[in-house]
């Protein structure tokens, strides 16, 4: 499998990563632990080397799962985790109803790093992201704290998530940012306006989360009733019945190209991202081996520049209904 470098950082990873959140968090009840351990190890066997988790997923349980699964394979994988939420040891919350507040104070970052190292069963975090920008802490202080952790050998690379161009520039001036993780897919193309040009200029890699539109672009979600009550998608504006029905037009467009290319809709959505830039590494999540293998099949789908342009032009003509987050969570992401 050909590898990709995240910007100019020197961080080399597989062209597709694996988002691990849904194994423990957000998309209904946690999945069977042993099955997820086997899936994670199978992903490594299939060539995936880039795994994404966070302390808030669970909270804490997803990092522990990833750590247990990948400790025997540690020299074959790149582990990415995140700090930035105000979690306590006994934190418990329902992501469908409420998220914890933000906390990127230096002492909190250092404490999170130590705890994540323990849960991940490793002596170094390969990529340490600020999960969400904390407006109460200057980004220079955040970057400086991670720089100290890098110098101490506890972290290898610094990342940001859902950060604006100004925040990215200010952080990068203190400690080079290896990667930005933000939502990006055929139904959320906002990063194309300012984010991607900024990353290109600064030599920063891009790690799109929800590259399959939280599963929507696979064509598998046709009805709001398919979502379990504790699946946080059930509360997202884009997944409400009226919006969900209107947004099917985008899936149908992708499916047309999929038929032509003898691929699936998911593979077309991922192939489109992979064709955009050589420093873009999507991290689709899954809890099923069949979906993992389907996603990897995107690496065999080649889209020409003209096919990419045609797909984008057609997609741009389809008005997407619904915001990506409800208002109570929107303050934690760039609009």
Query: What CATH code is carried by the domain that includes residue 147?
Result: 3.20.20.100
User: Residue 69: inside a domain, yes or no?
Assistant: yes
User: Residue 138: inside a domain, yes or no?
Assistant: yes
User: Residue 316: inside a domain, yes or no?
Assistant: no
User: Residue 260: inside a domain, yes or no?
Assistant: no
Distance CA 116, CA 12 (A): 22
Three-state DSSP class for residue 29:
coil
CB-count exposure of residue 142 (10 Å: 0-12, 13-18, 19+): buried
Strand partners, 127: 80, 157
Which of 57, 60, 184, 325 is the catalytic position? Answer: 57
User: Residue 282: inside a domain, yes or no?
Assistant: yes
Instruction: Give the alpha-carbon dihedral of 158, 162, 167, 170, to 10 degrees.
Output: 20
pLDDT the model gives residue 99: 81
Range of the domain at 46: 4-218+277-301
Q: Phi/psi at 177 (nearest 5 deg)?
A: -90, 125
Q: What is the pTM of this model?
A: 0.97
- Conformational region of residue 205, where left means phi above 0, alpha means psi within -120 to 50, and beta covers everything else: beta
Each residue's pLDDT expressed in tens, for the chain with a length of 335 residues: 999 999 999 999 999 999 999 999 999 999 999 999 999 999 999 999 999 999 999 999 999 999 999 999 999 999 999 999 999 777 777 676 678 999 999 999 999 999 999 999 999 999 999 999 999 999 999 999 999 999 999 999 999 999 999 999 999 999 999 999 999 999 999 999 999 999 999 999 999 999 999 999 999 999 999 998 889 999 999 999 999 999 999 999 999 999 999 999 999 999 999 999 999 999 999 999 999 999 999 999 999 999 999 999 999 999 999 999 988 776 667 64
User: Residue 135: inside a domain, yes or no?
Assistant: yes
pLDDT the model gives residue 334: 61
Distance CA 87, CA 249 (A): 40
Active-site annotation holds for 57: yes
User: Residue 140: inside a domain, yes or no?
Assistant: yes
pLDDT the model gives residue 331: 63
Domain count for the chain, please give it.
Answer: 1
Distance CA 179, CA 191 (A): 14
Distance CA 210, CA 280 (A): 13
User: Residue 32: inside a domain, yes or no?
Assistant: yes
pLDDT the model gives residue 98: 74
């Amino acid at each position: 499998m050909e590898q990709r470098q995240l910007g100019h950082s020197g961080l080399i990873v597989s062209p597709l990563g694996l988002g691990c959140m849904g194994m423990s968090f957000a998309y209904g009840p946690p999945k069977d632990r042993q099955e997820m351990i086997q899936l994670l190890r199978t992903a490594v066997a299939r060539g995936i080397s880039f795994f994404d988790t966070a302390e808030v997923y669970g909270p804490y349980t997803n990092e522990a799962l990833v750590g247990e699964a990948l400790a025997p394979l540690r020299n074959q994988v790149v582990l990415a985790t995140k700090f930035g939420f105000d979690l306590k040891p006994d934190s418990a919350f329902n992501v469908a109803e409420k998220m914890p507040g933000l906390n990127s104070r230096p002492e909190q970052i250092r404490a999170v790093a130590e705890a994540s190292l323990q849960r991940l069963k490793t002596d170094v975090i390969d990529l340490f992201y600020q999960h969400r920008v904390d407006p109460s802490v200057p980004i220079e202080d955040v970057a400086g704290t991670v720089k100290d952790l890098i110098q101490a050998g506890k972290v290898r690379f610094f990342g940001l998530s859902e950060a604006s161009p100004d925040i990215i520039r200010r952080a990068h001036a203190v400690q080079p940012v290896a990667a930005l993780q933000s939502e990006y897919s055929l139904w959320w193309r906002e990063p194309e306006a300012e984010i991607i040009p900024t990353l290109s200029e600064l030599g920063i890699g891009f790690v799109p989360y929800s590259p399959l539109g939280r599963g929507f672009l696979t064509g598998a979600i046709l009805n709001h009733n398919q979502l379990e009550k504790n699946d946080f998608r059930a509360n997202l504006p884009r997944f409400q019945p009226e919006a969900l029905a209107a947004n099917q037009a985008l899936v149908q467009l992708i499916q047309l190209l999929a038929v032509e290319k003898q691929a699936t809709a998911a593979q077309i959505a991922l192939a489109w991202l992979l064709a955009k830039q050589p420093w873009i590494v999507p991290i689709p999540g899954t809890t099923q081996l069949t979906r993992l293998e389907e996603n990897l099949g995107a690496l065999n789908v080649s889209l020409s520049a003209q096919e990419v342009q045609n797909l984008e032009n057609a997609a741009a003509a389809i008005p997407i209904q619904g915001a990506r987050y409800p208002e109570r969570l929107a303050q934690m992401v760039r609009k």
